[in-house]
Every structure is written in structure tokens, then in C-alpha cells.
Amino acid sequence: MSKRPIEVVAGVIWKDGLFLSAERPAGKDYAGWWEFPGGKVEFNESLGDALVRELQEELGITPTNFDFWMEKTVEYPEYTVHLNFFDIWEFSGKVLSLENQRFDWFDITDIRDVKFLPVNYEILKMLKERELKK
């Protein structure tokens, strides 16, 4: 029996050469782990619309210049997650913690001591390789 994937959007938000990450709050799966901001795509919602909505809900910002970067599918025993990553180059608004989670800006070349979600380590490695080529 095939599992219908859960569509998720995630934003790699850039500012002054750093990227934004948020810590998953208490009460959620993987609480205390860091991730790229984003969330589930709603029924009949485009990926871009979902990205804008999620970042407005979580952080109070509106992406104004963003590009689809890559996708990754992750299989879990109970479900499948289809992750859609976007680079966000510009946004309006001030970053706020609207869902009571910590956030911080990170240098892609110095993230050794940060506990990211396991699926994100491959993404971070690809980001680092891409940024070092610039």
C-alpha cells in the first residue's frame, strides 16, 4: 500500500551571507532540533503560496524574492514527506517568533555545534558546497 506524501515547503532565508534557522518548539516532534522555517502545503495551494503563508504565520515576514531550489523525499515508517526547498533572497517585515520558537542566523561554514534535523544535514552539506563555489 503506497503512502500519500505530505507536501512541505521550507525556506532557506538569506541575509548578509547568513541563513535563518528555527528551533522546533516543545510539544512538537523533534522538539529542540533546528530546521528551515516552513510547513505543510494545504489542499489546492501552490508551493509558492504555501511558502509565503507559512513564513507569515511563523515569522511575520513575506518573501518578496525567492526561487525554488530543490526537492527531497524522505520515507518514514508511517508516512512520506516531500520537501520543497526555496532560496529566499529578500523579504519584507521583521523576523519575529510568532510560534514561540527560537530562531537565529547561521554561517553555513560554521554549524558544527547546532543540532539540525537529520534530514537537513544533507541539505546543509549541499548548501555549503554551493556557497563555497561562489
Q: Domain extents for the chain?
A: 6-133
d(CA 49, CA 134): 29
Q: Is the pLDDT of residue 29 over 90?
A: no
Burial label for 33, CB within 10 Å (0-12, 13-18, 19+), is middle
The answer as to CATH 3.90.79.10 being correct for domain 6-133 is yes
d(CA 117, CA 120): 5
Q: What is the DSSP letter of 33?
A: -
Tell me what the mean pLDDT of segment 60-86 comes to.
95
- pLDDT number for residue 9: 98
Share of the chain above pLDDT 70, in %: 99
Check if the beta carbon of residue 51 is closer than 8 Å to that of residue 63: yes
Check if the beta carbon of residue 50 is closer than 8 Å to that of residue 57: no
- pLDDT number for residue 11: 98
Q: Is the pLDDT of residue 92 over 60?
A: yes
Question: Which segments of the chain does DSSP mark as H helices, in order?
Answer: 47-59, 118-133
- pLDDT number for residue 2: 60
pTM, whole model, 2 decimals? Answer: 0.90
d(CA 67, CA 36): 15
Q: Is the pLDDT of residue 1 over 60?
A: no
d(CA 56, CA 80): 25
